[in-house]
Structure 1
Amino acid sequence: MLKVMVSLARTLLLLGAAILFASSAARAQDGVLRVGIITDMSGQYADGNGTGSVISAQMAAEEIGGMVAGRKIEIVSADHQNKPDVAVGIVRNWIDNKGVDVIAEGVNSAVALAIQNVTREKKKIFLISGSGSSDLTGKQCSPTSVHWTYDTYASSNATAKAVVARGGTPWFFLTADYAFGQALERDASKAVNAAGGKVLGAVRHPFDTADFSSFLLQAQSSTAKVLALANAGSDFRNAVAQADEFNIRGSMQVVALQVTLTDVPALGLAHAHDLLFTDSFYWDRTPETRAFAQEFFKRHDAMPTAYQAGVNSALRHYFKAVAATNSVDAETVMRQMRKTPVNDFFAENGVVREDGRMVHDMYLMRIKKPEESKGKWDLYEYQTTVPGDQAFRPLAEGGCPYIGKQ
């Protein structure tokens, strides 16, 4: 009896696998290329990513006529709720049951790291835009991922050097206690020390914190001259506004290590003014960025953030690689993406590196004073360009285990 039951179980497993394989094969032949945008639609990153990233993906598809390599492009999207387990469930279902060929965005580093584990296992391409942890191209890298827009190393490196060069030291960090904030603090601390500055300490706050009073009091008592904000979204906005309530700027320079465009009008220039930070994109920087931004604004009633622009740029490059190879096979498309320079409104002569890092120029910016701004989205003053090979971590220092094996 036991042998019969075991035999039946094996038969059912084989039948299930055969059905799944046949289903996947059928989807592969249905003439559709499916793009899955997984993002924060309802949490603190929704304004800077969310539906704007879906719109940006739709624009990328429309720019090539809605088809590539004989396949109609279909955009699907989902809210990961800033929960890694929710994101993993969505992405597995997309790949196993919905025929999704490529995943994009993934804002929230803890979420992105979890998604990357799935796409690595399933051999699907993951185009990362909103997530920042440099671990995504470090020890947890993937041969099928491209980290497109920015990372914690690039965001902190130029800013830390500029602040230290202007006499800004020693530092104290106010850090979001999850993968992104921890990586940002780590990478910025290294940059401060390398520039000749000093770090006195740090305090970590929970994700989505409303009351920063105790953390700010610790910062004030540290005797540091620089308060570095290693957080983002509403955490960043709340920290800046409450720092002004405590008159932190009377004794410390507040430095933003990650700023999202939509944070600034939400916070107000009265609070945000004169913060130095590094970004990968600003809508009003060149004629090309303005043209993209104006089309985006028509659809979304807001100027695009760097993350939303990065989704568009990454998918443009992916679609070109699919067209050139007439394939959606991840390994084939990734080879083409690596050997083709990125030249569009977002990057000039960008390079997709072997560890998955898309290397491009970054820009040191200052947030304008209220009297300097000519409108709601006139927010940044360009300071200087940081060449990509200086902005991003050197390939040899990341510890990606796939280097030399692709």
Structure 2
Amino acid sequence: MRDDKLNAGEAATRTLELIEKDKVHAVVGALSSAVQLAVNEVTRARGVIYVSISQSDTINEAKDFSKYTFHEALNPHMTTAAVARQTLKKGMKVAHLVADYAYGHEMLRGFKRAQAAIGADNVGEILHPFGAADYSTFMPRLMSMRPDVLCISNFGRDQANAIKQAVDFGVKQQMKIVVPVILHNQRLAVGPDVFEGVVGGANYYWGLEPQSKSAASFNAAFKAANGGAIPTDYGAYGYSGVGSLLAAMQAAGGTDTDKVIDALEKLQYDLTKGPQHYRKCDHQSVQSVLVLESKKKSAMANDNDLFAILANDTGSDDMLRSCSELGHAT
């Protein structure tokens, strides 16, 4: 295990260390979209398999992709399309508050593509620095655009701070707040009152268990191994990223890189929520996309009952941009 410290340079250094010093056969991980591209640059140059668990569209595009690159996470195109289908209608006005780095830019592109297909109107976009603490200067500008929906495309502490300050400014009284990825840990950190009614996408939510045997089994095993704690969205990514790799190594009969790549390309796996597979042209994991709405406090049955599931879109290649659009031969 290594800590990339959410820094691309640190990630590249640690990845090189894992490959050259520890002689690893594969690398799994990364949370930041920029960090994963740095890891991928190192692994593909040295012929080492990399399974990324961070959202990115770029990592699947021909210029960054290699045969060693696999993307277990959802991507912004899939996520924003699913969220848009549940929250936008023709003629709606949409404004965007966007973190000014790869994650935010790709989510914005996804939302704009989805809203154009639906027929919603874009009324403005504001970029904010990564790690911003103060959003107060942005809120009056966003409110002056008079949108029906505000899409906040940022992550982690940025998401928590932006939504909290939007609520403080009374934004919810004027418009619906939508995020591309609604995060379990941020919702816990900020509380139900701030997040009430906020809609976003997710790869996993423990509340799937009544409708998914896979989720029920995963939840039970995770609780048993972690003192009763439930798995979060990114906990599920970590498990399925490593789990799919180990399943492929088992099928390949060892760690030979080309044999494991071949096994990953053929793998049909179901580790947390239902069937998944890696599309051959770009190694994107084809999987279901959840759309969740944060519950108000009075609707929560317990402290873990955070979200209502608005949609569970079955995974299919139709969710993805085409291989040719990404620059791959079909």
TM-score range for the pair, normalised by the shorter chain length: over 0.9
Q: Does 1:144 align with 2:71?
A: no
Query: Could you tell me which amino acid in structure 2 is paired with residue 177 of structure 1?
Result: D
Structure 2 unmatched runs, 5+: none
Equivalence for 1:237: 160
Which runs of structure 2 are paired with 1:141-180 in the superposition (5 Å)? Answer: 141-165=65-89, 169-180=92-103
Which runs of structure 2 are paired with 1:160-239 in the superposition (5 Å)? Answer: 160-165=84-89, 169-239=92-162
The alpha carbon displacement at 1:349 in A equals 4.6
The alpha carbon displacement at 1:390 in A equals 6.6
CA contact (8 A) 2:94 2:149 kept: yes
Q: Which among 271, 280, 285 is matched to residue 353 of structure 1?
A: 280
The alpha carbon displacement at 1:345 in A equals 2.4
Q: Which among 94, 97, 101 is matched to residue 25 of structure 2?
A: 101
Change (3 A) 1:96 1:356: same
Q: Does 1:266 align with 2:189?
A: yes
Q: Matched residues in 1 for 2:28 and 2:180: separation?
A: 24
Q: Matched residues in 2 for 1:203 and 1:283: separation?
A: 33
Equivalence for 2:235: 308
The alpha carbon displacement at 1:207 in A equals 1.0
Q: Matched residues in 2 for 1:215 and 1:392: separation?
A: 33
The alpha carbon displacement at 1:288 in A equals 3.0
Q: Matched residues in 1 for 2:273 and 2:66: separation?
A: 23
Q: Matched residues in 2 for 1:100 and 1:350: separation?
A: 24
Equivalence for 1:327: 254
Equivalence for 1:387: 314
Change (3 A) 1:141 1:238: same
Deviations 1:123-181 (A, max 9, x none): 1111111x11211112422221211121111111111122123x672111111111111
Q: Does 1:339 align with 2:262?
A: no
Deviations 1:249-296 (A, max 9, x none): 121111111111111111111011111222121112124323323433
- Could you list the structure 1 runs, at least 4 aligned residues long, displaced by more than 4 angstroms after superposition: none
Q: Matched residues in 2 for 1:304 and 1:245: separation?
A: 30
Query: Could you tell me which amino acid in structure 1 is paired with residue 234 of structure 2?
Result: Y
Equivalence for 1:362: 289
- Give 3-state SS (helix, strand or coil) of 1:356's partner: coil
Structure 1 unmatched runs, 5+: 1-76
CA RMSD of the aligned region, Å?
Answer: 1.9
CA contact (8 A) 2:286 2:317 kept: no
Q: Matched residues in 2 for 1:268 and 1:202: separation?
A: 27
CA contact (8 A) 1:342 1:351 kept: no
CA contact (8 A) 2:8 2:35 kept: yes
Deviations 1:44-75 (A, max 9, x none): xxxxxxxxxxxxxxxxxxxxxxxxxxxxxxxx
CA contact (8 A) 1:309 1:346 kept: no
Moved more, 391-400 or 193-202: 391-400
Change (3 A) 1:359 1:143: same
CA contact (8 A) 1:170 1:197 kept: yes
Equivalence for 1:120: 44
Q: TM-score, normalised by structure 2?
A: 0.92
Q: TM-score, normalised by structure 1?
A: 0.76
The alpha carbon displacement at 1:363 in A equals 1.6
The alpha carbon displacement at 1:340 in A equals 2.0
Equivalence for 1:290: 216
The alpha carbon displacement at 1:391 in A equals 6.8
Bigger radius of gyration among the two: 1
The alpha carbon displacement at 1:355 in A equals 0.2
Q: Matched residues in 2 for 1:398 and 1:283: separation?
A: 34
Equivalence for 1:71: none
Moved more, 111-120 or 138-147: 138-147
Query: Could you tell me which amino acid in structure 2 is paired with residue 206 of structure 1?
Result: P
Query: Could you tell me which amino acid in structure 2 is paired with residue 205 of structure 1?
Result: H
Alignment size in residue pairs: 325
